[in-house]
């Protein structure tokens, strides 16, 4: 699995079409940084999701936890594989000294374990994928909730777009419309407060 593939795909959808929000005291800054399209027109801003992924501490922590979980599952699979191979080699060496009944029992056990090993890797990868989906959902919900609160505090933007290097509907945007730093600062502050509790 690529390092940021799933996380990137989820966060890349974060800002598209959302009514955004401002942290408590930055209404004037945001109004100055996000020009109105036309008198009485839409107020639009954008968030750079590449930056959000790279600098949002919750996303960073989540990615590290997912990598550690994946490595744990891989170690478990490797241990099971090694143990099976050792037991099989021991049977080949010592099988002749067993009774016929013992040989049949051991062969049945090894056959059952071999069948289990054939599906174990897929099961473990599915567990990793399920956990990634669950964690990405939590991350996405945290970002959506923050952006809703951000906008509710100041009724500032009618529309926020996402901007990223690889996948974006935005071909050009006035840098003055970029609210990434405000969103990122607010998200990191909120996450730090939650973590410190």
Q: What is the pLDDT of residues 19-78, one digit of tens each?
A: 333 333 333 344 444 444 445 688 888 899 999 989 999 999 999 999 999 999 999 999
Compute CA 169 distance to the chain's CA centroid, rounded to the nearest angstrom: 22
Is residue 28 a part of any domain in this protein? yes
156 touches 42 (CB < 8 A)? no
Question: Would you say residue 5 has pLDDT above 70?
Answer: no
Q: Which helix (H) or strand (E) holds 159?
A: strand 159-163
Is residue 40 a part of any domain in this protein? yes
Number of domains in the chain: 1
CB atoms within 10 A of CB 80: 16
Question: Would you say residue 18 has pLDDT above 70?
Answer: no
pLDDT (average), residues 163-182: 85
Is residue 93 a part of any domain in this protein? no
Is residue 100 a part of any domain in this protein? no
C-alpha span between 83 and 116 (Å, rounded): 13
Tell the residue number behind the tokens 């060496």, with chain if given: 93
Domain holding 66, by residue range, is 5-75+112-196
Is residue 96 a part of any domain in this protein? no
154: nearest Cα among 33, 17, 12:
33
CA separation, residue 108 to residues 14, 92, 177 (Å): 52, 14, 68
């Amino acid at each position: 699995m690529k390092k940021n593939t799933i996380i990137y795909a989820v966060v890349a959808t974060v800002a598209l079409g959302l009514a955004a929000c401002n942290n408590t005291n930055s209404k004037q800054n945001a109004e100055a940084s996000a020009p109105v399209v036309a008198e009485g027109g839409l107020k639009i801003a954008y968030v750079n999701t590449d930056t959000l992924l790279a600098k949002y501490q919750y996303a960073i922590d989540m990615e590290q936890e997912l990598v550690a979980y994946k490595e744990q599952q891989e170690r478990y699979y490797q241990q099971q594989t090694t143990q099976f191979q050792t037991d099989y080699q021991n049977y080949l060496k010592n099988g002749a000294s067993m009774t016929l009944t013992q040989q049949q029992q051991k062969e049945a056990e090894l056959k059952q374990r071999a069948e289990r090993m054939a599906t174990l890797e897929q099961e473990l990868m599915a567990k990793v994928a399920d956990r990634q989906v669950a964690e990405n959902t939590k991350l996405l919900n945290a970002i959506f909730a923050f952006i809703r609160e951000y906008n509710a505090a100041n009724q500032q933007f009618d529309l926020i777009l996402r901007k990223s290097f690889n996948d974006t509907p935005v071909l050009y945007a006035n840098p003055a419309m970029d609210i990434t730093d405000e969103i990122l600062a607010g998200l990191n502050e909120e996450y730090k407060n939650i973590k410190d509790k």
